[in-house]
Amino acid sequence: MSGAPTLGDLATSWQLDPGLLASAVAALGAYGWGMRRARAWPARRAACFALGVLAVLAALCSGLDVWADELLSVHMVQHLALTLVAAPLLVAGSPLLLALRTLPRGGRRALARALRSRAARALTHPVATCSLLPAAMIASHLTGVYELTLTDPVAHALEHLAFLLAAILFWLPLLGHEPLRRRPAFLGRMLYLLVAMPAMALPGVVLTIDRAPRYAAYLAPARALGVDPLRDQQLAGTIMWVPGSVLAAALALLVAWLALVQEERRALAREARHATVPLLALALLAVAHPQSAPAAVAPIGPPPANGRALYEAACASCHGFDGRGVRGQGPSLLGAGARAADFYLRTGRMPLANPHDAPVRTPPQLTDAQIRALTAYVASLGGPAAPPIPRVDPAAGTLAAGRSAFTDHCAGCHQVLARGGIVTGAIAPPLREATPTEIAEAVRIGPYLMPRFTTRQIDQSTLNSIVRYVEWAARRPSNVGGWGIGNIGPIPEGMVAWLIGIAALLIVIRLIGERSPQ
């Protein structure tokens, strides 16, 4: 393949189409106008959109387009640049959302009606968006349509437009922020990608295993460059199959991470909405009962005067005015003690206005003095037998014992490096922000779906070691001898290792495999 174009040829060969260039400039100008009208539009979205427009120009005006008529392998790179680079970047720029925010009232209403129309709902349905791009790839590369596009410039331009539009629709439910009527949740997005990715790789597999050149239009140009047409076709299939699958898998990991972040933000937003009324009541109480400087409060003993007032404002609706709980709302606090109250209040999991929401970590909703007062009052409800705030001494523990105990009892949900994870019906939080006392409290309490560990299961010495290990792992993870990959956990790391291994195996098979005779 001595006559194949080099990277320098691809970089220096440019044929700018005036119409395409004018369209790109107009798109960037309109986006910039919208940014000036929008308030605090994220710079990362603007950067993604600009890079997407540049990727379209690079795919259709650079050496990729010049050499795409000569070699199928270059043409395949061009298609991947449109579908797996330009389209996701354009979608991540959220131009429709920007238009909905910045167009004049009449334009916004017209665009909103168009997005709510029956045709738009059909096109943006997950089944349609998941199917259109794989169908376009298969129909174009495995039928006579591809030969037509190689001889007819109009058909060629329509093919590229169809690829770009189908790819934009494909990535819209995954990376876009537009108000779609149906957007898959986390598991739905994973299923979406698992169904679509093999279908998108199918044309590459077929081109790789073909025993004869499929497209007659490439025979003469490839031979004129000294390139074997069959080898070029197999290279094109390998490019579509291996690098295309790796790039698609990388985008799938990005989609999964963004979905997890979005789910966590939704939980936090629900907590913030439901906490509005208790926070207002607490603010009024803070004005009515001014507090002096924070002072040490014993976990057991007579409660401060404002502790009961805080309890009645923020807790009594779910736990009852006598602390015995309210059926369907909240449990009894008679035996909870200072340990549970301190944990839930300092981690912002309480007050929780809607008892049906999962408690998640948020900034504390009370001041330190209010937390001390309310904790002391809750502790007084249980009497002298109520469990106090546990004492923990990380310096007295050992890292080796802590790692072993954490791996046995905690890593299944929080991951080995305490970065958090997903469990059935909840999110196991990362422990980077947890204090030693909060970790000890959680171990003894078992908040939400977490199991409670007694002193028989985890004694004080083991608890000290666990806290020491968590402090070390959460703040100073060691990646010596390996690739950290952001310490994202064994399942994503396993996916990355699997994809790299499969790609390496396919490359080895391609290099040592027996070639078919001419």
Band of residue 491 on the pLDDT scale cut at 50, 70, 90? low
Q: How far apart are the first and last CA of the chain?
A: 16
Count of other CB atoms within 10 angstroms of residue 238? 21
pLDDT at residue 348, rounded to an integer: 84
Place of tokens 């809750």: 378
Instruction: Work out the angle between the directed axes of helices 153-175 and 229-274 (0-180°, nearest 10).
Output: 30
pLDDT at residue 285, rounded to an integer: 47
Separation in Å, CA 197 to CA 20, 126, 242:
30, 14, 12
- pLDDT tens profile 229-247: 888 888 888 888 777 677 7
Lowest-pLDDT choice from 257-266, 270-279, 398-407: 270-279
Q: Are 7 and 228 in contact (CB under 8 A)?
A: no
Give, in degrees to the nearest 5, the angle at Cα 157 between 66 and 217: 60
CA neighbor of 194 nearest in space, from 137, 134, 243, 258: 134
Place of tokens 């387009």: 65
Q: Are 431 and 414 in contact (CB under 8 A)?
A: yes
Which domains does the chain possess?
7-273 (no CATH), 275-385 (1.10.760.10), 394-478 (1.10.760.10)
For residue 422, the surrounding DSSP H or E stretch is: strand 421-423
DSSP 326: B
For residue 426, the surrounding DSSP H or E stretch is: strand 426-428
**How far apart (Å, rounded) are the C-alpha atoms in residues 302 and 381?**
10
- pLDDT tens profile 359-395: 777 888 888 888 888 888 888 887 777 888 888 998 8
- In this structure, the chain runs to a length of 518
**How far apart (Å, rounded) are the C-alpha atoms in residues 157 and 17?**
12
Q: Which two tokens stand for residue 6?
A: 């080099």
**How far apart (Å, rounded) are the C-alpha atoms in residues 495 and 414?**
18
List, in sequence order, every residue forming a beta bridge with 421; answer none if it has no partner. Answer: 428
pTM of the model: 0.54
Long-range contact list for 63-66, CB < 8 A, 24+ apart? 63/5, 63/9, 63/10, 63/11, 63/12, 63/13, 63/14, 64/10, 65/15, 66/13, 66/14, 66/15
What residues contact residue 380 under an 8 Å CB cut-off, 6+ apart?
A: 300, 301, 302, 303, 307
Q: Which two tokens stand for residue 70?
A: 């000569």
Per-chain mean pLDDT for the chain: 77
**How far apart (Å, rounded) are the C-alpha atoms in residues 79 and 244?**
10
- pLDDT tens profile 203-223: 888 888 888 888 888 888 888
CA neighbor of 487 nearest in space, from 406, 431, 438: 431
Place of tokens 């937003």: 269
CA 44 to chain centroid, in Å, comes to 15
**How far apart (Å, rounded) are the C-alpha atoms in residues 473 and 467?**
10
pLDDT higher than 80, residue 26: yes
What residues contact residue 109 under an 8 Å CB cut-off, 6+ apart?
A: none
pLDDT higher than 90, residue 51: yes
Q: Are 85 and 41 in contact (CB under 8 A)?
A: no
Place of tokens 């490096």: 417
Reduced to 3 states, what is the DSSP secondary structure of residue 106? helix
**How far apart (Å, rounded) are the C-alpha atoms in residues 397 and 114?**
63
Q: For CA atoms 489, 491, 492, 497, give the dihedral sign.
A: positive
Band of residue 89 on the pLDDT scale cut at 50, 70, 90? very high
- Which one has a higher pLDDT value, 148 or 294? 148
Percent of the chain with pLDDT over 70: 76
CA 174 to chain centroid, in Å, comes to 10
Give, in degrees to the nearest 5, the angle at Cα 128 between 125 and 129: 85
Q: Are 361 and 349 in contact (CB under 8 A)?
A: yes
Place of tokens 């129909």: 139
CA 271 to chain centroid, in Å, comes to 20
Reduced to 3 states, what is the DSSP secondary structure of residue 442? helix
